[in-house]
Amino acid sequence: MALRFPESTSECIYFTNRQIEDTGKAIAWVYKKTCPQCKKAKMGKPVEKGKVKIRATEYVCPSCGYTEQKQPHEESLIVEVQYTCPYCGKSGEATTPFKRKAWNGIPSYVFECESCKKKIGITKKMKKAKGKSDEDGG
C-alpha cells in the first residue's frame, strides 16, 4: 500500500501517536483536502485575527474562499495508519474513513490488521475500553 508519512503536522487535520493495549502501537493522520473549487490550496478551519478558529463549524479555502460544512467535509477524508498489531505483533498499514464508530463501547477509528484480521481501534486520548478491569486483585 505504501502510505506517505506527513513531513509536518501542519499538513494534517488529525495526527496521533498511540500505544494500543500493551504491545501494539499506531501512528495515524488525516491529510488536509485540496479545495474542490480552485484546486490550488488545502482547505482548513477559518482564520480570524491571525488565529485559527478551533471550534469552527466549516472549512475554508484560503485561496478562493470556498466554504464547506464540517460534517460532510470530514466524512470525505481518510485516516491513514501505520501500526503494530497488539494481537499478532506484525506491523502494517491501513486506511479507514475519518468517522468514529463504537468499538468496545468507545468512539474510535476502527481498522483491521492485515495479518490476523482482528479489529483495532484508535480511541480518543486516554479512553479505556468498557468492561475491562485490572486483574491485579486487591
CA dihedral 76, 101, 111, 108 (to 10 degrees): 100
Q: Distance between CA 130 and CA 138 in Å, rounded?
A: 20
Q: What is the pLDDT of residue 69?
A: 94
The answer as to whether 117 is a domain residue is yes
Judged by phi (left if over 0) then psi (alpha if -120 to 50, else beta), residue 101 lies in beta
**108 and 55 in a common domain:** no
Q: Count Cβ atoms below 10 Å from residue 68 Cβ, excluding itself.
A: 18
**Is residue 83 classed as helix, strand or coil in its secondary structure?**
strand
Whether residue 67 is predicted with pLDDT greater than 50 in this model: the reply is yes
**Are 47 and 25 part of one and the same domain?**
no
pLDDT 10s digits, 96-119: 999 999 888 889 999 999 999 999
Structural domain of 65: 34-76
- Let me know if residue 104 belongs to a domain: yes
Question: How many structural domains compose the chain?
Answer: 2
**Same-domain status, 92 and 28:** yes
**Same domain, yes or no: 64 and 117:** no
Domain contains 122:
yes
In this structure, the answer to whether residues 121 and 81 fall within a common structural domain is: yes
